[in-house]
Amino acid sequence: MLDELFDILRIPSVSADPAFAVDVSRCAEAVAASLKSAGASNVEVIKTPGHPIVFGEYQTSVDAPTVLVYGHYDVQPPDPIDLWDNPAFEPIIKVTDKHPEGAIFARGSCDDKGQMFMHVKALEAMVSQGDVPCNIKFIIEGEEEVGSSHLDDFIESNKEKLSADVVLVSDTGIFANDTPSITVGLRGLSYVEVEVTGPNRDLHSGLYGGSAPNPINILAEMISSLKDEDQRITVDGFYDDVLELTSDEREAMARAPFSEEAHKASIDISAHEGESNYTPYERMSIRPTLDVNGIWGGYTGDGAKTVIASVATAKISMRLVPHQNHETITKLFTKHFKKIAPSSVKVKVTEMHGASPAITPTDSPAYHSAALAMKHTFGKEPIPVRSGGSIPIVASFERILGLKTVLFGFGLDSDAIHSPNEHYGVFNYFKGIETIPHFYTHFAQLHEK
């Protein structure tokens, strides 16, 4: 089971970089082959205007409920590659504090190849034991890390093919290996690139400095004004649609065993930041954010160059919570950002990604099945938690197919997804493979046709 996952991890299926397009397609073929040999039928690699989608299914009985398993085989770029202790696409098992049984180090090990592959191996195990309690359909895409831009169209035009009773996704995490949890909410995303242009060319900072508008200085001032002293986002109308949690809901969240001290230590910071009326844990899950993801302009090479740049650019993400709408937020941001620009510069705002926030029910047969399955294999009832991350397609499954999702992830927040040295616990990988079949057993029993 590890060797086969390692073969998939060796393929650098980086969706963001066109230089890896052939590897992305090769990875789709490898996933399709693994589904076939696990026992799936009608396995297809489907072309899109972007990267291919892998489909496959296992039909057990017309009377059984149908589960649509979603995952992604594409990965984030490995950069900065110098910070990896071992090459990103040469998987290796090493022991860590959080993973005394060992963890698989490789780009995509946790997000999401390792978690997606648990479903392939769970299918194989169920088929070989002659006990597959539900009909299962698989949709494994290659564009999640770049915003799933072609998947909506595919779902729209394949409603019948994808019809199911619930969606099951392992692309999130658990609280800790001794504290199982089920994610019941994801944040949405509005991601923009802003460009501020001053003079028509780079200028001598001595000859022109003092009068020429400096786009880097101005961009920095504009960005700092996007939050007030209490770290509230100042974009007009930004909080209008934010759903406030009830005090009962906030108390339930506060019971999660989140240690602020351990969290600070884990990322080596001496203090958290954020809105004063919310705990650090709440700020990372139930509150919206605004973060600069990258900023550049002017001279950044060795030594010093005296220059006033013509252009400064930044990439900005806003994580959104129910019921914020990413299109509305992008419009509000664009209007606000243009409004606060001094007349000495030109401003351009380009939309990069949009994703809707999602909340999933905890009173459904599917949620109960997931909770019972985890209780069985972890020996403990999982706690419901809201996550700060985004999975754009979850809202689409609901909007287009009317399907709710169960977020059945097994990673840890400390697994360094998107970072150098991403890893996935060997314990987590096998615990997932062990737990998934129990989900199907319970769902076949609890689901009413």
From the list 79-87, 129-137, 200-208, 384-392, the region that binds ligand BES by CB under 6 A is 384-392
Classify the C-alpha dihedral 104-182-255-263 as positive or negative.
positive
Select 57 or 171, whichever has its Cβ closest to Mn ion.
171
Residue closest to ligand BES (Cβ): 389
Planar angle of CA 233, 234, 239, nearest 5 degrees: 65
The reply on whether position 173 binds ligand BES by CB under 6 A is yes
Measured CA to CA, the distance from residue 132 to residue 80 in angstroms comes to 43
Compute the least distance from the CB of residue 239 to ligand BES, in Å. Answer: 21
User: Binding partner of residue 57 among Mn ion, ligand BES, none, CB under 5 to 8 Å per kind?
Assistant: none
Buried b (16+ CB within 10 A) or exposed e, 270-303: eeeebbeebbebbbbbbbbbbeeeeeebbeeeee
437 in contact with ligand BES (CB under 6 A): no
Pick one of 31, 132, 189, 290: the residue that binds ligand BES (CB under 6 A). Answer: 189
How many residues bind ligand BES, per CB under 6 A? 17
For position 141 contacting Mn ion by CB under 5 A, the verdict is no
Candidate segments 46-54, 106-114, 162-170, 428-436, binder of Mn ion by CB under 5 A: 106-114
Q: How far apart are CA 145 and CA 142, in angstroms?
A: 8
Which residues does residue 308 pair with via DSSP β-bridges, in sequence order? 203
Rounded distance, CA 236 to CA 376, Å?
48
Of 57, 144, 145, 422, the catalytic one is 144
Do 250 and 236 form a contact (C-beta atoms < 8 A)? Answer: no
* Residue 144 or 165 having the CB closest to ligand BES: 144
Residue 415: DSSP 8-state: G
Q: Are 71 and 121 in contact (CB under 8 A)?
A: no
* Separation of alpha carbons 415 and 370, rounded Å: 22
Per-residue interface string for the shown chain with Mn ion, residues 281-320, x marking contact by CB under 5 A: ----------------------------------------
Binding map of ligand BES across residues 348-377, x = CB under 6 A, - = no contact: -----x-x----------------------
171 binds Mn ion (CB under 5 A): yes
Question: Which class for 213: exposed (0-12), middle (13-18), buried (19 or more C-beta within 10 A)?
Answer: middle
Strands 166-169 and 405-407: parallel
74 is catalytic: yes
Q: Which range, of 59-67, 103-111, 150-158, 199-207, touches Mn ion by CB under 5 A?
A: 103-111
Q: 412 or 433: whose CB is closer to ligand BES?
A: 412
Q: Which residues fall within 8 angstroms of residue 117, CB to CB, at 6 or more apart? A: 4, 5, 8, 34
Position among 112, 124, 143, 165 found at the interface with ligand BES (CB under 6 A)? 112
Query: Catalytic amino acids?
Result: 74, 144
Which chain residues interact with ligand BES by CB under 6 A?
A: 111-112, 144-145, 147, 171-173, 186, 189, 353, 355, 387, 389-392
